[in-house]
Amino acid sequence: TTTTPPSASALPDDGDLREPPTASECTSCRITVGSAWVSSRCGVVNHWPGVSSDFFRYDPVSYALNVDDGSEGSSFFAACHPGSRHRRHATVTAAEVDSMTSTGFTESMGWRHPYNYHDLTVLLAIRSDLMANFHFLSLLFVPSIKDAERAFIEIIDKDVVAYTAMVTGYAEFTDFNARGAFEIVTFMHREGLNANRVTLVSLLQAAGHLREFGKGRSVHCYALRRLIGVSDEVLLTSLVDMYAKCGAISIAASVLRQTKKRTVASWNALIARLSQLGQSSEALKYFCLMKQGNNLFPDSVTLANVLSACSNRNLVQHTTSLHAYIMRRNIQLDEVLTTTLIELYSKCYKMKRARILFDHLICRDTIVYNVMISGYLHNGLVEEAINIFSDMIREAARPNFATVVSLLSAFADVGDARIGRWVHGIVFRYGLELDLDVSNLIMHMYAKCGQIKNVKMIFDLITDKDLVSWTVMMMGYVNIGLADEATAMFQKMQRTGEEPDSSVIVTLLQAHAQLGSSEPVKEIHGYIYRTCLVEDIATMNSLIITYAKCGRIDVAEAVFNGMTGRELASWNTMIAAYGIHGYCTQVLEMFSQMQRENLKPDVLTFSSVLSACSHAGLVEEGWHIFSSMNSDYLVAPQEEHYNCMVDLLGRAGQLEEAYNLVKCSPLRDRASAMRTLLAACKVHKNTKLGELIGQELLDLEPQVSGSYKIQK
């Protein structure tokens, strides 16, 4: 039973009012929250924004508070909104607080100022209703964990509902704060209170967020001992979700199998985690089991998780089957499902289907635009990606970090500084350049495009430079051949106290490879061993090729032989090092040794080996290796391999064989190989074939026709 609110006579006059009302003064509330918070934060009542001192002269009168949507027309909104005359008289019940938490009231009220949370604790006389306390504490967790903690401390008679409200609030966090749920339960047990079903569900949620298998299992054991929720669907679903998030897939599946009343949510919890772990086949298996019994039908969440599982393995046949299943079951294609399908079709090189789905979306947010942009870039369709990005700007969808990452990375790869500058301007317009990672990406784009002045300008504007900033700046100098500037930048970085990582060392080695002096490389070599970077494969490979370019192939051999975990990249590096010095015999020996050690060569291996054969004039060996690529190693010859063979045959004077090889190749762009063959025709004075090739080049590249004149 609620008590009557205090009358005006029970309150002090304005002149005597120096502190906010204490718990004893608020006799209408068995549970009073917020007074200590107000005292520490505000000092005196006259300083409370939007609250006049004559507030305490009025008798609080209950209003009929019907909160439907948090709109300004509702009486509760009018009562609580800062500056409203109604707020001075209002009281609130559990149902009304529940309405606040369930209708998005906090967003519509714009509760971003801390004083507004106090308005619901002191200015609104909250009744001694346990459920009101629960919902009120939950409401405070929305903007600030500290406000909820302070309010909880002010509760005089804490019961299991108040404790559970705090546990539930902590459990919503996915970071370290979720540990607070278990700390609160410890205090709860010290007070002689036992956890209920809602408490256990929240604890399982917290254990899942923290990936704390031990804590989650303890909660499970507690529930079994106390027979709490043994047949409760929500608790059992929480158990499946917790075990799945902790990586205990077999236990999660066992709990699901033993559950008599399986729900869609419990199946979703297991399928989602399997999809996240990349266990696509298992996710599809449980999806099929879900459809077989219990008269359960997958919802959009289920299908989104299953589609994500297909995406992990690019299973096109399952994608189309699932899409057809969605259409047959008349399942609404919401934004999540549509976005997942678009992403999957993009990865499977089905951009036409992805575009159809995208065009049928009525409301397009930033996420779906990002997926389309990434899909076009993944398929090499840069122009289409730019068009989608332009549409995104026109429709006022705000680009975010993911948008910028996709675009700048793509423009850096193609070396298009013009479009990169356009994206840079949009980044500046939306204030994204304040992010250090974005600034580093813009620097990287300009560095790849050779725009070193722009790189330096952005670098100088960054106040808190990290290792990526220094590395990109050094890389920019290396890309345009300014190795001295790169080494000077490294010395400047050292003076700031930054410790170089493997990326910095690799860039520094590239600079010294251009300079050609092995003495500084020896110093870097010593640093690598002192800092244990010797275990980094990329660093050691860079060291090998740098020694080779500096003329010390003997040291490069020693470094390679001293490596313990040699990977394919290390073998490719050593083969390339021998190729730099023209040691074709050693190249072929290394290639044979790779075969003996059951290492499968890749496209880079064949490029280095065929290039060595070309320079050494080993036509027979080159033909044999080229022919074995597809038949023995399932490596499809690419443009650089055909160019190596054309160069090899051209040097040997076998021009007709080289021409037939190019004509029979599946290459889309034959211009590069034709130019190589045209140069060989000039060397061997084969005018007839040269004229034929020149005419074909005119058809392939008419814009550079002047380059194909045959000089006699």
Q: Tens digit of pLDDT for each residue in 541-592?
A: 999 999 999 999 999 999 999 998 789 999 999 999 999 998 999 999 999 9
**Tokens 């380059």 label which residue?**
707
CB neighbours of residue 13 within 10 Å: 10
Tokens coding 254: 């066992």
Tell whether the model's pLDDT for residue 203 goes beyond 60.
Answer: yes
With 50 as the cut, is the pLDDT of residue 371 above it? yes
pLDDT range class, residue 333, cuts 50, 70, 90: confident
Cβ 637 vs Cβ 630: under 8 Å: yes
Domain boundaries, the chain: 399-458, 465-566
Most confident segment among 32-36, 108-112, 256-260, 576-580: 576-580
Q: In the prediction, which pLDDT does 326 show? A: 86
Residue 94 has pLDDT above 70, yes or no: no
State the pLDDT at residue 657. 92
Confidence label for 175 from pLDDT (cuts 50, 70 and 90): low
Nearest to 243 by CA among 217, 218, 223, 221: 217
Q: Is the pLDDT of residue 48 over 60?
A: no
- Helix (H) or strand (E) holding 126, with range, is strand 125-126
The residue among 677, 640, 672 whose CA lies nearest residue 658 is: 677
Position 291 pLDDT exceeds 90: no
Residue scoring higher pLDDT (136 or 402): 402
Three-state DSSP class for residue 314:
coil
Nearest to residue 464, comparing CAs of 490, 441, 496, 489?
Answer: 496
| Cα first-last separation, the chain | 111
**E strands along 183-234, which residues?**
none
The structure's pTM equals: 0.62
pLDDT at 3 over 70: no
Mean pLDDT score of the chain, rounded to an integer?
Answer: 77
- Distances from the Cα of 390 to the Cαs of 66, 320, 412, 558, in angstroms? 45, 30, 19, 54
Amino acid at residue number 407: L
224-242 per-residue burial string, b: 16 or more CB within 10 A, e: under 16: eeeebbeebebbbbbbbbb
